[in-house]
Amino acid sequence: MPHTTDDLKQYGSTAEPTTQLLPDEEVALEAQLVRVREEKRLALLEPGPTWSQWFFFRAAKWYVIVAFLIALSWELGYLFPPSNSPADEVLPVVAATVYAEFLLYRCLWYRPTSGGPSRSTRDKPFRRSLIRPVRYGRWTPEGADVRAGRPVVVPAQGPDPREFL
């Protein structure tokens, strides 16, 4: 059922504006409309990451951290009443949980800080270790490039500073 002007008056509003726009307000409003239309046009040209890319590359970090804090507080709760479990049983479990969280973060979101491999110098080959299980995290731009077969160091990024003295 469409609303009539009587319905609008019932809610304290009217269908037509109570004041008219001044010429300078009208110019400002038109400029704002032009700006909004341009933003919409640019947003349609470059929509950005998909929902899954946004979730895995950015938002999932927070969910993993919250899940880790919940598990950690649950494990630490065994040290206090009513269970009063001995510390020598609980602390190894807590240490294993902290290490598992560290490994999970490294496997999913690790990005080396020293930059990518040099194009001119031969870096040592990657070796897995207990602290560094993967070269690049699964949900990082570098990891996506490696899985797609693209080089991690893109030549369009410019020269490698390590190539110069």
* Per-residue tens of pLDDT for the chain, all 165 residues: 555 656 656 666 555 656 787 888 889 999 999 999 999 999 899 888 899 999 999 999 999 999 999 999 999 999 888 888 899 999 999 999 999 999 999 999 998 876 555 555 556 678 899 998 998 999 998 888 888 988 776 555 666 666 676
Instruction: Mark out the alpha helices in 19-160 (DSSP H runs).
Output: 23-45, 51-54, 60-76, 87-109, 141-148
Contact 102, 133 (CB under 8 A): no
Q: Which residue has the tokens 């919409």?
A: 40
Question: What pLDDT sits at residue 69?
Answer: 96
How do the residues of the chain divide into helix, strand and coil, expressed in percent and rounded to 5?
Answer: 60, 0, 40
**CA-to-CA distance for 121 and 156, rounded, in angstroms?**
18
Question: What pLDDT sits at residue 146?
Answer: 87
Question: Does the CA dihedral 85-86-87-88 come out positive or negative?
Answer: negative
- The model carries a pTM of 0.63
Question: What pLDDT sits at residue 60?
Answer: 94
**CA-to-CA distance for 74 and 152, rounded, in angstroms?**
40
The token pair at 58 is: 């950015």
Beta strands in 26-72 (DSSP E): none
Other CB atoms within 10 A of residue 143 CB: 21
Question: What pLDDT sits at residue 126?
Answer: 80
Q: What is the DSSP letter of 77?
A: G
Question: What pLDDT sits at residue 81?
Answer: 87
